[in-house]
Amino acid sequence: MGKAARPQVGDNLVEPGLSKSSARLTSVQMLRSVLGRKGRLSMSRGFIRRNVWVGPVVALILLIFAGTWVRARMEQAIRNQTESELQTLLQADVTALRLWLASQTATATTAADESQVRQTVIKLVRDAQEGKTSAADLLSTPATGELKTALSPWIEAHHYAGFVVIDRETRILASKNDTLVGQKSLPGYMDFVETVLSGRALVSKPFPSIAAVNDEWGNVTSGVPTMFAAAPVRDDNGAAIAVLGLRIRPDQDFTSILNVARPGATGETYAFDQKGLMLTRSRFDDQLKQIGLLPDKPTARSELTVEIRDPQIDLTKGVGSPLRRSEQPLTDMARLAVAGEDGVNVQGYRDYRGVPTVGAWTWLPDYGFGVVTEMDKAEAFGLLNILRTIFWSLFALLSVAALALLALTLLARRLERRMRDAVIAAGKLGQYALEEKIGEGGMGSVYRGRHAMLRRPTAIKLLEPSKTTDVAIERFEREVQMTSQLNHPNTITIYDYGRTEEGVFYYAMEYLDGLSLQLLVDCFGPQPDGRVIQIMQQVCGSLVEAHSHNLIHRDIKPANIMLTRLGGVCDYVKLLDFGLVKAIDSQKQRVLTAADSITGTPLYMSPESIEDPNRADYRSDLYSLGGVAYFLLTGRAVFEAVSVLDIIRHHLGSQPAALAERTNQPVSPQLEQLIMSCLAKSPADRPRSAAELAAGLGQCAPLVPWTPKDAQRWWDAYSAVGADGGNGEVTKQINLSAATLEHPG
């Protein structure tokens, strides 16, 4: 069997005058030269030719990462900007609102402290204390007229809609609306009145009017949104005896302040109380009428009507909420705000219409209501949506281009493989004629063939077209390169290496007519210790040379050691399959095998090569060789188990059984001791080199000697069995194995 350089570097280049060794050396030197110069160039060209799709795919991957990164950055930037804008608008509106509230409080306080106002209120309180509490009594007292006169300048100057005076008994002593005079314990007033009577000036939150007053359309009706700026009226001793409230129309001041700065086409700022009731008018009153949250009437308004509840669905899309309005929870914003938590949300939540919204909010505990600035999420992130559309469009175009190139590449590869198969079917491979397939391994197939000019039987290994990847080609070439450096007679000889125009990689090697040690034991059982010593010595000779080149085989096993009759010498050993060979301190080798969790055959692997393949050295080969000798003597592997994992565990922690426990045939004690030293768990306890092991084998006295005559008789008998047809199938299997580099572990 064999491996090869390119077709022009074959046997036909050997000059007639050269000796066999000189010819082999010349071939090896030329092979290295070709592999060094042309091999890498061929691989580079092949990679580019076979992988046109790589560019678009790489570009696509880069676009995905870049687009995702840019989109994330842009989205975060827009979120930060939106968050900042919402908080800025909210802060501006709340600041303006606080200034207005403070101004109203100051006006009410000044009015309540004005001398004429204060004196007339004191008179009204005294009249009430004297029993004049009916509406007629209070309206007929001179103090009522004096109070209206005193407050008239204040009402006109500050555009108040009216006034009211309430004593400590919560009775209305005076009002611009006479229908209220004399009434007591009016709902909606009590908490507010008690706070002011405690001595604190305050502006109330909006509430529906009890009395019929003019609304913004000029209609006289009750329930009109009303506010009061109120301050305590004190007697001469400074005690609060009554409340002076100046009536404010929320739609003229309170609502308009919050609507000064509206963000975008969907932004709004509004106030709400602790129950989630809107205190100011919504920007979307017309829309609220369309979706049924407001009556479809001209006078319908959202303030003091619409509650900020989450309908669980976007009502603007024409689909009704699955819950009744009373069953719907407050929106996420309102729920947090009424709990006293200020915040901002740019991730999005549903507003009272069910529309995805972003917003910033704050709660004003001094006034008992909250303020929020909101904007539809679609508008807030409109720019981001445009960027997403552009990104996905480019992504789709490049994806189509990448898929198209990938399809073309796959089609081209399929055609190329058909051409390769056609070449193999034609039986012509460069200067070699293929005769029959004699073996098949993990990376390719092995054919028996002949050189077109030399007519020499040759084993030709082809890299399977379906496995022609860059890594496979590199492994294939590495196997040739490593093996071609070795000249020892017990190492397989490489003749040639090449690649056809159709892209079929191959190499040619010597054809061996014999059987592997695996097949030897499978067919003929355990071997005499004398024969095992001779086989081991020859393998050591091959390893001595390999190790001197800083090469470790890493896959020593019975199937990779051939026993043949060569040049009249029987029991001639050839070491095969350097496909896993490792160059010591080779970074390239470490990169090439980085994806391999285990490199080798588990039945014969050393503990260190299992734990860390990069830590394996020459003594790892000696461990494997000890396992081969153990197998030859006993017919069984050192460790046997159902699963590969169990075998590995045994290699790492179990001691091998003595040979006497595994075989009935006599074994030299020196040989057994030497084999057990090779199987030591620690490399330091094994022979230091293959040369030292060979020397130790030479000192072993076999209990069953094996002479050249014994070997001659065995091979004669073996050939006779194969020739008479009685065991032809065995002979055929042996020949197949002899030409196969890769065997199942």
86-106 pLDDT tens trace: 999 999 999 999 999 999 999
Across residues 287-303, what is the average pLDDT? Answer: 90
β-pairing, 225-234 vs 207-208, is antiparallel
Least confident of 22-36, 46-60, 246-260, 366-380: 22-36
Across residues 546-559, what is the average pLDDT? Answer: 90
Quick one: the chain helix, strand, coil %, rounded to 5?
A: 50, 20, 35
CATH architecture of the domain with residue range 82-94+255-377: 2-Layer Sandwich (3.30)
Backbone angle region of 223, left / alpha / beta, with phi > 0 → left and psi within -120 to 50 → alpha: left
Position 464 scores a pLDDT of: 66
Q: Categorize the per-residue pLDDT at 732 as very low, low, confident or very high, splitting at 50, 70 and 90.
A: very low
325-353 pLDDT tens trace: 989 999 999 999 999 999 999 999 999 99
Position 558 scores a pLDDT of: 94
Say whether pLDDT at 47 is over 60. no
Give Cβ neighbours of residue 616 (< 8 Å, ≥ 6 apart): 552, 554, 582, 606, 608, 609
Helical residues (DSSP H) of 114-181, grouped into ranges? 115-129, 135-140, 142-158
CA–CA dist 207, 226 (Å, integer): 5
Say whether pLDDT at 28 is over 50. no
Does residue 230 sit in helix, strand or coil? strand
CA distances to 391, 442, 551, 555, 639 from 613, in Å: 45, 20, 14, 12, 20
Surface-to-core class of residue 436, CB atoms within 10 Å of its CB (0-12 exposed, 13-18 middle, 19+ buried): exposed
Position 191 scores a pLDDT of: 80
Position 54 scores a pLDDT of: 66
120-172 pLDDT tens trace: 999 999 989 888 888 888 888 899 999 999 999 999 999 898 999 999 988 99
Tokens found for residue 339: 């709990």
Position 105 scores a pLDDT of: 94
Higher pLDDT, 728 or 715: 715
674-710 pLDDT tens trace: 999 999 999 999 999 999 999 999 999 999 999 999 9
Mean pLDDT, rounded, of the chain: 82
Higher pLDDT, 568 or 58: 568
193-196 long-range Cβ contacts below 8 angstroms, 24+ apart: 193/166, 193/230, 193/243, 196/230, 196/231, 196/232, 196/240, 196/243, 196/245
Say whether pLDDT at 24 is over 90. no
Backbone angle region of 466, left / alpha / beta, with phi > 0 → left and psi within -120 to 50 → alpha: alpha
In the numeric block, the tokens 């009303």 are attached to: 226
Say whether pLDDT at 304 is over 60. yes
Q: Categorize the per-residue pLDDT at 37 as very low, low, confident or very high, splitting at 50, 70 and 90.
A: very low
Q: Where in the chain is the domain with CATH 3.30.450.20?
A: 108-248
108-248 CATH choice from 3.10.20.440, 3.40.190.10, 3.30.450.20, 3.40.50.2300: 3.30.450.20
Q: What is the DSSP letter of 658?
A: P
211 touches 179 (CB < 8 A):
yes
CA–CA dist 655, 354 (Å, integer): 74
Position 438 scores a pLDDT of: 81
Position 442 scores a pLDDT of: 61
Position 729 scores a pLDDT of: 44
Say whether pLDDT at 730 is over 70. no
CA–CA dist 646, 464 (Å, integer): 32
What percent of the chain shows pLDDT beyond 70? 82
644-676 pLDDT tens trace: 899 999 999 999 999 999 999 999 999 999 999
Q: Categorize the per-residue pLDDT at 718 as very low, low, confident or very high, splitting at 50, 70 and 90.
A: confident
Q: Categorize the per-residue pLDDT at 287 as very low, low, confident or very high, splitting at 50, 70 and 90.
A: very high
Q: What angle do CA 16, 20, 24 make, to 5 degrees?
A: 100
Beta strands, E only, 301-423: 343-350, 356-364, 369-376
CA distances to 156, 617, 692 from 97, in Å: 22, 83, 98
Position 188 scores a pLDDT of: 59
474-508 pLDDT tens trace: 776 776 777 778 889 999 888 888 777 767 788 88
Say whether pLDDT at 42 is over 90. no
CA–CA dist 195, 365 (Å, integer): 14
Does residue 549 sit in helix, strand or coil? coil
Least confident of 158-172, 237-251, 449-463, 725-739: 725-739
Least confident of 44-48, 71-75, 261-265, 563-567: 44-48
Nearest to 166 by CA among 141, 189, 187: 189
Does residue 269 sit in helix, strand or coil? strand
CA–CA dist 677, 622 (Å, integer): 9
Q: Where in the chain is the domain with CATH 1.10.510.10?
A: 514-738
Position 634 scores a pLDDT of: 96
As beta bridge partners, residue 562 has 516, 574
Position 30 scores a pLDDT of: 42
Q: Categorize the per-residue pLDDT at 595 as very low, low, confident or very high, splitting at 50, 70 and 90.
A: very low
CATH topology of domain 514-738: Transferase(Phosphotransferase); domain 1 (1.10.510)
